[in-house]
Amino acid sequence: NYSVHRRKAFVCILEICFTKRQSFDSSLHFNILSSSVVQANLRDYLKSISMTNLKDSTEPAIDSKPWVEKYRPKTLDDVAAHKDIIDTVKKLAKENRLPHLLFHGPPGTGKTSTILAVARQMFGSSMSNMILELNASDDRGIDVVRQEIQDFASTRMIFNKGFKLVILDECDAMTKDAQFALRRVIEKYSRNTRFCLICNYVSKVIPALQSRCTKFRYPPLDEEHVRERLQHVIAEEGVKVGEGGMDALVSLGNGDMRRTLNILQSTHMASGEVNQYTVYSCTGNPLPEDIERVAKWLLNDRSADVFAYITQYQVERGIALADIVRELSPRIFRIEMPKEVLMPLVEKLADIENNLAYGTNERLQLGGE
């Protein structure tokens, strides 16, 4: 009996071991199978990602950069107009004899582009370490001069014997105290730092700073250079230009290349085709033929009728009276009339524009004069 029980116990142990082995083999097989599936899925996933990235990389990227920055001149040769200024600055930079500079003139004439092109020519790849660019309209107090500018100007480069460059844009917005403090900083660190001051109104810069800098005046760009630059941008971007489009851009830009390019890009994005109507409509300016009509009303019709006509025109087109007066002034000078008639008319238009600038009621200004 003992042998029988022992044999049965041994058989049970064998059955249990066999069952465990089957379970272990099944589990191992399942794990191997699962691992294979996971690896296959992972390979397919990575392959799909790489194909997607490859597909995305082959598609042309949309450049959202403003055209003003995209087509900003990179070298001095690319700067439009101001040949005498560019040649002088280029020679000074080439000979490493750059003085302190003061660029002044209306906006959009190439002042900032010139000094940035000079910095690229002189410093090359180390430009970011060698210049300090500040907009004085944001940082206009004396603390900026005493801390940020003085800290940068006082340090000398160990492995570079050249000088560093501080660019102060819109320096005419700096306070008088800050300008007086800057005068002393310019004197103290002239050995290793050059300063370039950029402003619109040189009369707002103290004489002590002006006398320490070589001044260059940037006048508004002439029509020839504006058209040349516009044609380059239009060709690069594939802009469709219709009748009167180029003339409208040049007229509204008024020698400001930055403003002209902004109008071109805005009109292109809003309307597709750039023509006279779309340019004036996009900027909210009255059309030239509308100004001609207003001039005829003023010279030939009764005051009450002119008031009604102009009011209706403003409602239909959404034009401000200040825009009408601004566009009407140069048109009046092209009309042949005696000086005794012209001068009072121009004076009244100037009074209306001045009053509108102070926020007076448009209907009162339209009817009062």
Q: What residue segments make up the domains of the chain, in order of their start?
A: 1-53, 70-217, 223-283, 290-368
DSSP code string of 100-166: -EEEESSTTSSHHHHHHHHHHHHHGGGHHHHEEEEETTTS-SHHHIIIIIHHHHH---SS--S-EEE
Beta bridge partners of 197: 102, 168
Asked if residues 107 and 258 have their Cβ atoms less than 8 Å apart, the reply is: yes
Two structure tokens written together for 283? 């900027």
Give per-residue pLDDT as tens, 287-329. 989 999 988 888 888 888 888 999 998 888 888 888 888 888 8
Percent of the chain with pLDDT over 70: 80
The pLDDT, as a whole number, for residue 7 is 58
Global pTM value: 0.75
Q: Which of 98-107, 166-175, 197-206, 211-220 has the lowest mean pLDDT?
A: 166-175
Rounded Cα gap, residues 193 and 186, in angstroms: 8
Two structure tokens written together for 1? 């009996």
Rounded Cα gap, residues 166 and 211, in angstroms: 17
Give per-residue pLDDT as tens, 83-139. 999 999 999 988 888 999 999 999 999 999 999 999 998 888 888 888 988 886 666
Give per-residue pLDDT as tens, 248-279. 999 999 999 999 999 999 999 988 889 999 99
Pick the CATH number of 223-283 from 3.40.50.720, 1.10.287.130, 3.40.50.2300, 1.10.8.60: 1.10.8.60
Two structure tokens written together for 252? 């509204």
The pLDDT, as a whole number, for residue 46 is 52
Residue 218's nearest CA partner among 250, 173, 249, 255 is 255
The pLDDT, as a whole number, for residue 55 is 44
Q: Does domain 70-217 have CATH number 3.40.50.300?
A: yes
- pLDDT average, residue stretch 202-214: 93
The pLDDT, as a whole number, for residue 47 is 58
Indicate if the pLDDT at residue 38 is higher than 60.
no
Residue 134 host element (H or E): strand 131-135
Give per-residue pLDDT as tens, 332-352. 888 888 888 888 888 888 888
Asked if residues 211 and 182 have their Cβ atoms less than 8 Å apart, the reply is: no
Indicate if the pLDDT at residue 41 is higher than 70.
no
The pLDDT, as a whole number, for residue 136 is 67
Rounded Cα gap, residues 249 and 276, in angstroms: 8
Residue 205's nearest CA partner among 235, 168, 236 is 168
Indicate if the pLDDT at residue 1 is higher than 70.
no
Rounded Cα gap, residues 365 and 39, in angstroms: 80
Confidence of residue 79 (pLDDT cuts 50, 70, 90): confident
Indicate if the pLDDT at residue 33 is higher than 60.
no
Two structure tokens written together for 133? 């660019």
Confidence of residue 228 (pLDDT cuts 50, 70, 90): very high
The CATH number given to 290-368 is: 1.20.272.10
